[in-house]
Amino acid sequence: MQLGMIGLGRMGANMVRRLMKDGHECVVYNRSPAPVKAMEGEGAIGASDLDDFIAKLETPRVVWLMVPAAVVDQNIEALVDKLDEGDIIIDGGNSYYKDDIARAKRLQPKGIHYMDVGTSGGVWGLERGYCLMIGGEDASVAHLDSVFKSLAPGVGDVARSRGLAGESSQAEQGYLHCGSVGAGHFVKMVHNGIEYGLMAAYAEGLNILKHANVGKVSQEVDAETSPLRNPEDFQYDLNLADITEVWRRGSVVA
């Protein structure tokens, strides 16, 4: 199907590429013109300004925003009078979910449908696909099903979870309609919180491994510092690259 993308940064550009690979038609716009030219070279339909962008989209229009959270509202502001009843705006960035709720409420009187899609995948997304956490009305989500399917990783070679049977669910294909508007970014927000917790756990652990040779360092005596007890127990020069490599095979922190 056809989709308009505003914002051709690392995420937006790769999502357009992945969509075109699956046969979707992409109209693209970006604040600065260079990325638009670049994507035209790869098969996208470039837009020179917002009016051009709107004109090139068939109704009901699908406008996907992939811009910093701080400028989503001004982008919507610029779009709203150019859009028609039935059009869909998707915020694929990292907006706070309460902003989603407020936007949907503002856009509803105009008949514009607002959706939020938390998008995880980073630099590997183009190749492997994006994990999509979706909030919005049932009809809008259904309308965009083929787009979500193309962006998502698909079932892949991940071992099936115990208890699942029959045809693979949306979730198993890598996208999920989590709930009403805001639910996608709510789930993504928690996802990111978990991510930072994971990084903290690895960082703390690796830091201990890195200093497992602290007993080799001689220590000054003063009244404020407790002497290291049993320095003979801290004599390991550990190779962190090897350790994290071995953990990739069979360990529970892989």
Residue 13 tokens read as 């550009």
Q: How many residues does the chain have?
A: 254
What is the C-alpha separation between 241 and 210, in angstroms, rounded? 11
- Give whichever of 111 and 156 is closer to a second copy, judged by the CB atom: 156
Stretch that binds a second copy, among 42-50, 107-115, 139-147, 245-253 (CB under 8 A): 245-253
Q: Tell me the per-residue interface mask from 191 to 220 with a second copy, x by CB under 8 A, - otherwise.
A: x-xxxxxx-xxx-xxx-xx--x------x-
Total residues in contact with a second copy, by rule CB under 8 A:
90
Give, as ranges, the residues between 166 and 185 that touch a second copy (CB under 8 A): 169-176, 178-180, 182-183
CA distances from 185 to 161, 178, 219 (A): 25, 9, 50
Q: Which of 54, 133, 144, 147 binds a second copy (CB under 8 A)?
A: 133
Minimum CB distance to a second copy, residue 4 (Å): 20
At 26 the three-state DSSP class reads: strand
Interaction between residue 28 and a second copy (CB under 8 A): no
Q: Which stretch binds a second copy (CB under 8 A): 13-21, 33-41, 76-84, 233-241?
A: 233-241
Q: Is 226 left (phi over 0), alpha (psi -120 to 50) or beta?
A: beta
51 versus 145: smaller Cβ distance to a second copy: 145
Active-site positions read 188, 195
Locate 209 and state its tokens: 């491994």
Residue 101 is a binding residue for a second copy (CB under 8 A): yes
For the chain, helix (H) and strand (E) counts, in that order, are: 11, 8
| CA geometry: angle 96, 69, 32, nearest 5 deg | 165
Report the Cα 83 to chain-centroid distance in Å.
Answer: 26
The structure tokens 């939020």 sit at 116
Residue 176, by phi and psi: left (phi above 0), alpha (psi -120 to 50) or beta? beta
Does 138 engage in binding with a second copy (CB under 8 A)? no
- By CB under 8 A, name the one of 34, 142, 165, 252 that touches a second copy: 252
> Among 2, 94, 149, 214, which residue interacts with a second copy (rule: CB under 8 A)?
94
Binding to a second copy (CB under 8 A) within 104-123 occurs at: 120-122
Q: Rounded to whole angstroms, how far apart are CA atoms 10 and 159?
A: 30
Q: Is residue 108 helix, strand or coil?
A: helix
Nearer residue to a second copy within complex by CB, 41 or 163: 163
Query: Binding to a second copy by residue 145, rule CB under 8 A?
Result: no
Q: With respect to a second copy, which residue has the nearer C-beta, 35 or 57?
A: 35
